[in-house]
Amino acid sequence: MRHWSIAIIAVASSVVFAQAASAADMPVKAVPPVSPPPVYNWTGFYVGGHVGYLWGRTHVEEEGVVIEDGAATNGVIGGALAGYNWQYNQFVFGLEGDFGWTNANGTGLAVVIPTQLPNTYDFNWTSHVRGRFGYAADRWLFFVAGGLAIADFNFHEGATTTTTTQITGATYVGWTIGAGIEYAITQNLLGRVEYLYDHFGHKDYIGSDGDPYRVSLTGNTVRGALAWKF
């Protein structure tokens, strides 16, 4: 009986060792490589909103003499934007338009004549149509932009004891240049911070006393934006 037990154990051991050897000889299935996430593509339409602060400057000449050399005309600005990007390799080309309402306003310097109040100034809205050129580093986009700048602006001539305040509104058209950084938060949601310098040009007015005025506008804007890319 003891001999049979020894024989059975020997046979079982042989079978186990044979199976182990067979398994060792089988090829190991390779683990498939993990694909890197796809590089973000900036091509597409987008719409969104922006909010920031406008540091405006109003330059006024009366009969060719400077009476306001950059009066502060500041305020919050916010509105909507829309555009299209096209990406080629690492480079991104785009066209964008925006519109923003603002409460930017300012008061001119006190005048020498005691009976006359200073001029006051009000931006109502600004708008831009800009081309953009950028360099994409996956989800980051570093860009410069420039193009057309438009502003709706009211010039309030200071009143005297014999005249009333004359409010003259006009649309100013000039140019803009700026730069910024954009990040693709998700496949569709874009976040941005940027700076714009605007030169809105000038307008000529005739004051209440018949004197000619020339009013020029510039602005520095820092703003953030969120947009949805389709």
Per-residue pLDDT of 203-226, as tens digits, reads 998 877 778 889 999 999 999 999
- 3-state helix, strand and coil shares in percent for the chain, rounded to the nearest 5: 10, 65, 25
- Give residue 109's pLDDT band: very low, low, confident or very high (50, 70, 90): confident
Task: Write out the two tokens for 214.
Answer: 């020339």
Position 15 confidence tier, pLDDT thresholds 50, 70, 90 = very low
| Predicted local confidence at residue 30, as pLDDT | 61
The share of the chain scoring above pLDDT 90, in percent, equals 62
- The yes or no reply on domain 44-229 and CATH 3.90.180.10 is no
Rounded to an integer, the average pLDDT of 22-27 is 50
Per-residue pLDDT for 5 more than 60? no
Quick one: pLDDT band at residue 100, thresholds 50, 70, 90? very high
Residue 223 has what pLDDT? 98
Mean pLDDT value across residues 93-121: 85
CB 150 within 8 A of CB 173: yes
Q: Which two tokens stand for residue 173?
A: 């058209």
Q: How far apart are CA 32 and CA 147, in angstroms?
A: 50
Q: Mean pLDDT in the chain?
A: 85
Residue ranges per structural domain of the chain: 44-229
218, two tokens: 């510039």
- What string of DSSP letters covers 105-141? EEE-PPPSSTT-PPPEEEEEEEEEEEEEEEEEETTEE
More confident residue, 167 or 24: 167
Residue 49: what pLDDT?
98
Please report the pLDDT score of residue 23 as a whole number: 47
Stretch 26-52: mean pLDDT: 80
**CA 135 – CA 152 distance, rounded (Å):** 33
